[in-house]
Structure 1
Amino acid sequence: MTSQAADRPETVGASRRSKITPEREQEFFDAVLDQIRECGYEAVTMEGVAASTRCSKSTLYRQWRTKPQFVAAALRANRCSRLAGIDTGSLAEDLRRAARAAGEWSGRDTRLLQALGHAITQDRELQQALRETLVEPEVAALKEILRRGVERGEVAAGHPALEYVPAQVLGVLRVRPFLEGEYADPDYLVRFVEAAVLPALGLG
């Protein structure tokens, strides 16, 4: 009896989740993130996502009990690093490639971050999901690029500018829209890396 009772919640949960295919789940996730980008977090509702994806709102509430949980799941499902895999054999060229890659997705990710602005200060799970999706993978990729540069002897391991490179690259992505009203596109980011990041590391 104890074993059956312990198994029951997992069985029910599995039954509920089995009604939604991975493709359909991703459709829900894409819909909520697109609506957040367009309308802002506060304006998006579970009912609105249900209507746009032609499902019942009870389906969404059964799967994700609250909007923050739904949005956090959507963020985590879209976690990836656009900078992973960059390895040209040159630290300077890797950073240029990383800048160009970051600029290609700057608009979508910056809009999402801006739209979630106040909400992530109110909900810890949402804040953590955002960090796991938009921050940590890119920081890890940049640190790996820098580590390889140190191993090749292109920059000293103790160089004081090393720890600030992720903040430089990711920071300018976030701040340019506020300063100049434009996203940091690929050309802008490459110019920034060449003018500010490479000289700080002693690279031409």
Structure 2
Amino acid sequence: MTSQAAQAAQAADGPETVAAARRSKITPAREREFFDAVLEQIRACGYDSVTMEGVAASTRCSKSTLYRQWKTKPQFVAAALRASREVRFAGIDTGSLAEDLRRAALAAGDWSGKDTRLLQALGHAVTQDPELQQALRETLVDPEIAALQEMIRRGVERGEVRADHPALEYVPAMMFGVLRVRPVLCGRYADSDYLLRFVEAAVLPALGLT
């Protein structure tokens, strides 16, 4: 194919097709390595201290590879967050709202340190970048809130708590709030034992459950 024909074919494909072809050079395993590296560096050093150059060095790739793929650090981190999405409260269904919330406390304790560090490290950055904020919500916040709301819905249907109980809307805030605030108050993350005691002492009584 002549150079002119090649250019014409490229133009016919359009910029999106060409960009997709470039992206396809990175294997899923390699992409996962990049994502893991940037999130771990954010946890360890803070968002502002992490650079595309630093991630490139730690993963032994050229920084041009990262910039070609994701253009900016916020876009890179947003993609890493979305790729790491995992709903920790999904699948909890014991047939009892009180027991579901206890199980949620235990599950939250298993990942609270890792995710709380990430939330803290991204705290200021997410207020500056809408895409980063949206990715954080889609990954660490909205799925867990939806799972909690599903537990509550089942509890209401079983008659365990009134649908108009004033404390229902605050359950997600209570669960997420204690995860964020304990490191500030005590210098320690909220582990499973602490969260379980919190649910027993604060959340269940607020809902009228035992």
Q: Do both proteins adopt the same fold according to a TM-score greater than 0.5, normalized to the shorter chain?
A: yes
Deviation at 1:6, TM superposition (A): 5.9
Q: Distance in 2 between matches of 1:113 and 1:4?
A: 42
CA offsets, 1:151-179, max 9 Å, x none? 11111111111111010011100011111
The aligned counterpart of 1:50 is 56
Q: Distance in 2 between matches of 1:78 and 1:52?
A: 19
Q: Aligned match of 1:163 in 156, 162, 169? A: 169
Mapped contact 2:46–2:121 kept (Cα < 8 A): yes
RMSD after superposition: 1.5
Q: Aligned match of 1:66 in 66, 72, 97? A: 72
Deviation at 1:78, TM superposition (A): 0.7
Identity %: 82
The aligned counterpart of 2:143 is 137
Residue correspondences, number:
203
Normalized against structure 1, the TM-score is what? Answer: 0.96
Q: From the superposition, tell whether residues 147 and 6 of structure 1 become closer, same or farther in structure 2 (CA, over 3 Å).
A: farther
Q: Distance in 2 between matches of 1:120 and 1:53?
A: 25
Mapped contact 2:10–2:18 kept (Cα < 8 A): no
The aligned counterpart of 1:174 is 180
1:82 aligns with 2:93: no
The aligned counterpart of 2:5 is none
CA offsets, 1:116-139, max 9 Å, x none? 121111111111111111110110
SS at match of 1:41: coil
1:146 aligns with 2:152: yes
Q: Distance in 2 between matches of 1:4 and 1:40?
A: 41
Q: Distance in 2 between matches of 1:8 and 1:125?
A: 25
Q: Distance in 2 between matches of 1:114 and 1:200?
A: 28
1:12 aligns with 2:18: yes
Deviation at 1:5, TM superposition (A): 4.4
Q: Distance in 2 between matches of 1:85 and 1:64?
A: 33
SS at match of 1:98: helix
Between structure 1 and structure 2, the one with the greater Rg is 2
Deviation at 1:10, TM superposition (A): 2.4
CA offsets, 1:71-97, max 9 Å, x none? 011011111210010001111100000
Q: Distance in 2 between matches of 1:23 and 1:99?
A: 32
Q: Aligned match of 1:94 in 75, 100, 118? A: 100
User: Which amino acid is 2:26 matched to?
Assistant: I
Q: Aligned match of 2:44 in 34, 38, 57? A: 38
Q: Distance in 1 between matches of 2:123 and 2:146?
A: 23
Deviation at 1:14, TM superposition (A): 1.7
Q: Distance in 1 between matches of 2:208 and 2:118?
A: 34
Q: Distance in 1 between matches of 2:127 and 2:91?
A: 32
The aligned counterpart of 1:117 is 123
Q: Distance in 2 between matches of 1:74 and 1:120?
A: 14
